[in-house]
Amino acid sequence: MSTVDHPPVYDDLVELLARSAEAEEVLSFQLSNDKQSRLDDLLSKNRDGTLSAQELAELDAFEQLEHVVRLLKARVREKQRQ
């Protein structure tokens, strides 16, 4: 069982990636500097209440990606403990 709550729709993809990817590469994954900077900008605009509809959709995509990455990292850690 995963340590991260999630809808089961992600299970198959997360399991595939956890099996086939290099564990250390997965665990060290971070956004590129450009993408992290964009995310920081979107989060700032969100705090200020100035996001456009397109920017809100972009922020939602970042949040979905973060969720999948957390699931994947949790699954990789579980496999390392086995």
% residues pLDDT > 70 (the chain): 91
Going from N- to C-terminal start, the domains of the chain cover 8-81
pTM: 0.81
One-letter identity of residue 44: S
Q: How far apart are CA 53 and CA 55, in angstroms?
A: 5
Largest CA distance in the chain: 46
Tens-place pLDDT, residues 32-44: 999 999 999 999 9
pLDDT category, 2, cuts 50, 70, 90? very low
Residue 5 has pLDDT above 70, yes or no: no
Tens-place pLDDT, residues 8-20: 777 888 888 888 8
State mean pLDDT over 23-38: 94
Q: How far apart are CA 36 and CA 71, in angstroms?
A: 19
